[in-house]
Structure 1
Amino acid sequence: MFKGLSRLVSCAALLLTLVSTAHAEFGGQVFTGTLGKMPIVVELNTRDASEVTGRYFYEKFHRDLELSGTLQDKTLTLNEGNNRYGEDKPLPTLTLNQTASGWQGEWTSPKGKSLPVKLTEAEPKTPAADALPFIAALPKSDPYEYLRLQGLKLKPGKKESLMGYNLQWWTEPESKISMFSVESGYPKADQDRVNQQLLGRLWSEVISYHGCQLQGGENVEFNQHVEPALLSPDVVSLNISTSYYCGGAHPDFGDSPINLDVHTGHTLSLEDVLWVGEDKPLLHADRDNAGDTPLTKEEDETRSRYQREVFVPWLIKQLTALYPDEMKKPAEGDEDGCDFTDESVWGYSSWRFTPKGLYLGAYFARVQRACDAPDWPVLPYSLIKQHPGAVELGLPKD
């Protein structure tokens, strides 16, 4: 297995990791109601009565508070918060009794202050007809996050003209997560599909931010920077750089590019753009849009074998020819040297389009973090055009 894969998964699929963790640990029934006079949204997993988990947020503040406890004789006894990072402090508690429509009881502070709690099963409103596909899917897939996002609004930021296209930047103020939409330069249907993907990604990163806040405790960090890489008649490509600490031993960082086919709005896989195998390319092998058919086990194994046995050796050969100095193997005993001839650092490379060619990033183990993502590994488009992938694209000239 490529040693860079675990870091690639943790960075590029950070959203999936955080959301999956939240679903596994807290996923269950969703309720709305009040704590005192404050509206709240609560998610409770009571499948294991001896180990109930959950979370809730005040609609005014949107930030999660963790719940854990037990269910006995239709009575929930829950602690709010946790001491997982070594603290030893008293925690607020909730004592709730089951009702015909939900739960009711009281919240008690460590100092003894009590407030009434009343919860009923959530009934999220149907999304507006013009809602983003990402938002429209949430009432069924994740009603808790849907209800959180209903209280958040995007703030327009700067406008800029880039590569012949006009962009509008947006920021969600609480998380400070930003993304751009394309305001002109594409046919309207293409532009709408692209913007649905871009703004959907913005909201998915907001969810990821809140997942990190819940997991990370007081020292949480979640910062992002979005940089457009290429806008062309066929492609929108950008890079999302994230630095984060969501609990655990160390902070981390990584890149998560987005590469879109303008004419379909679909995510492009590397095999869609560049294919060096003997048989036919694997069409849209990485596509992650709703409604797309996932790879079968056999297809996934075939793709992994192609990556390992065909693509990576070919890539190292091309980079060695193009960048002989950078690809030079470190001297024996040089522990700080970056060995870009090591096939494992190119496994499932993070990639994106640039004006000059296709950029592919390398990933090293933590002890060689300084070697990560050098700026030079760019394959010129003249080379890419000799090895077209599954999707017909009009690529720029070198």
Structure 2
Amino acid sequence: MYRWLGVVGCLLGATAGAQNVQACGGTPGLPAWVQAGVYSGTLGSSTVTLGLSPRNIDANRYFYAGRAADLFLTPFRSGNTLILQEEVRLDYGAETTVSGCLTLERDGTALRGTWKVPGTARTLKVTLEAMNVAKVALKLPASPGLTRLRRSDPLTFLKLNRPWTNTADGRRTREPLSGLSYPRVPGASPALELVLQDRLLEHAAAGLNCKSWLPQRAQGDDGYTLNVGVTLLTSRLLSLREDVGYSCGGAHPDSSTTGLILDRATGRHIPLQTLWPSLTPARLKTLYLALPGTEPDSECDDILHGMEPSFAVYLTPAGLNLTPDSLPHVIAACAETVMVPYGQLRTGANRASPYYPELYGR
């Protein structure tokens, strides 16, 4: 079914700051003056952007301009001085290590201080000014997803709020920092363009989040991959299949498949039961198990019969495609895609739907 991506970070286990390693001094916690906010400025000669949050430890992080990954920070304090301990993992299975100490004082609305590697004497000057992210000019068309990202994850918004490019053949739009791309639709309405932008925005945000959780020596890996194809395009309908693979530093890689059925003019999601009112989840499971491609004597048979009736659904010129989307990673190979021919669904189709002629003719 059509669904937004979950937060990748929730799938990855403990946070980078889970270890209480106090290499930078101070005591746990934040000075009373610290409030949630975003700051931008310089660390040495580099441009950085930093986010602070008293309530959400994972929101204490910063990034260098032009880099996809964030560096996670664990807060400490010494009187009114804020100490942010920069923590990383160097390799898979490695313990978290402290790679830097930010020591900051409040100066009006700004933050000023130093950064250094623990145990060394050399320091770099840090100067950060408070940002009002809500007033940052949009460099992409205004969309619900872009507005939501600016509010919920301002650091990721600042990284992704830049002009995107089209591939040389003009068939896909590419987000440059994550490297992910999404299909373009010829003659797409403005509303549909915004929906497609938000799909790529959602994946790009997840991809950058995944990159941040990778160990330092794996930062060049493709931790998050996206393959999207248009499976049906008619005068009124657009259907797509999204396949995501991700390995973001957790114990095992994983993957997911999402199907979308959209109104080409409005970009709105079309519920499957708008097209076929009788296609409840239970009915979809019955159809799936009865179709060729699910072998009754295979080792997957018991698994498929016991699975939740949840499917990624999308349209093709020949029929409705179903892919189980609730199987755990270890048995995901059993989630084969099968197609239900439109003719088999004709008697239960909604003839009053404006989409009926798109699938069955007039």
TM-score bracket, normalised by the shorter chain, equals 0.7 to 0.9
Q: Give unmatched runs, 5+ long, in structure 1.
A: 1-7, 160-166, 278-306, 331-335
**Are the aligned partners of 1:275 and 1:388 in contact in 2 as well (CA < 8 Å)?**
yes
Q: Structure 2: how far apart are the matches of 1:271 and 1:386?
A: 14
Map 1:144-163 → 2, pairs under 5 A? 144-150=155-161, 152-159=162-169
Give the Cα separation in 1 of the matches to 2:93 and 2:61: 18
Matching residue's letter, 1:145: T
For 2:309, the equivalent position in structure 1 comes to 347
Q: Distance in 2 between matches of 1:344 and 1:52?
A: 37
**CA deviation string 1:103-141 (max 9, x = no partner):** 211110244431111222212324369434432444334
- For 1:238-387, list aligned pairs within 5 A: 238-276=240-278, 311-312=281-282, 314-319=283-288, 322-323=291-292, 326-330=293-297, 337-339=299-301, 342-345=304-307, 347-363=309-325, 364-372=327-335, 374-375=336-337, 377-387=338-348
Task: Work out the CA distance in 1 between the residues paired with 2:204 and 2:54.
Answer: 27
- Residues 132 and 196, structure 1, Cα contact 8 Å, conserved in 2: yes
For the structure 1 residues 44 and 116, does the alpha-carbon distance in structure 2 shift closer, same or farther, using more than 3 Å as the test? same
Cα distance 1:241–1:90, how it changes in 2: closer, same or farther (>3 A)? same
1:104 matched residue in structure 2: 112
Distance 1:121 1:205 in 2: 28
Work out whether residues 180 and 200 of structure 2, in 8 Å CA contact, stay in contact via their aligned partners in 1: yes
CA distance in 2: counterparts of 1:30 and 1:195, whole angstroms: 30
Q: Distance in 2 between matches of 1:347 and 1:262?
A: 28
Which residue of structure 2 aligns with residue 295 of structure 1?
none
Under a length normalisation based on structure 2, what TM-score does the superposition of the two structures give? 0.79
Report if aligned partners of 2:140, 2:163 keep a CA contact under 8 Å in 1: no
Q: Residue 143 of structure 1 is aligned with which of 143, 147, 154?
A: 154
Deviation at 1:272, TM superposition (A): 3.1
- 8 Å contact from structure 2 (residues 242, 259) kept in 1: yes
Paired residues for 1:109-124 under 5 Å: 109-110=117-118, 111-124=120-133
Q: Secondary structure at the match of 1:81?
A: strand
Amino acid at match of 2:201: W
Say yes or no: does 1:168 pair with 2:176. Answer: no
How far apart in 1 are the matches of 2:212 and 2:284? Answer: 40
Cα deviation, residue 88, structure 1: 6.2
Is contact 1:52–1:69 with CA below 8 Å preserved after alignment? no
Question: Which amino acid is the alignment partner of residue 329 of structure 1?
Answer: P
Q: Aligned letter for 1:73? A: G
CA distance, structure 2, for counterparts of residue 253 and residue 128 of structure 1:
31
Deviation at residue 349 of structure 1 after TM alignment: 0.7
Local SS of the residue matching 2:191: helix
- Correspondence 1:151-230 to 2 at 5 A: 152-159=162-169, 168-184=171-187, 191-218=189-216, 219=218, 221-230=223-232
2:6 to 16, 41, 50: 16
Change (3 A) 1:316 1:59: closer
SS of residue paired to 2:348? coil
Amino acid at match of 1:378: M
> Quick one: structure 1 residues 192 and 344, their matched pair in 2 at CA, closer, same or farther if it must change by over 3 Å?
farther
Identity of aligned residues (%): 24
CA distance, structure 1, for counterparts of residue 75 and residue 115 of structure 2? 14
Contact 2:49–2:155 (CA<8 Å) still a contact in 1? yes
Distance in structure 2 (CA, Å) of the matches to 1:60 and 1:343: 48
Q: In structure 1, what residue type is equivalent to 2:64?
A: Y
Structure 1 window deviating more from structure 2 (134-143 vs 264-273): it is 134-143
- 1:313-335 per-position Cα deviation (integer Å, ceiling 9, x unaligned): x3344345543xx44532xxxxx
1:237, distance to aligned residue in structure 2 (A): 1.1
2:38 is aligned to 30
Amino acid at match of 1:101: T
What is the SS of the residue equivalent to 1:86?
coil
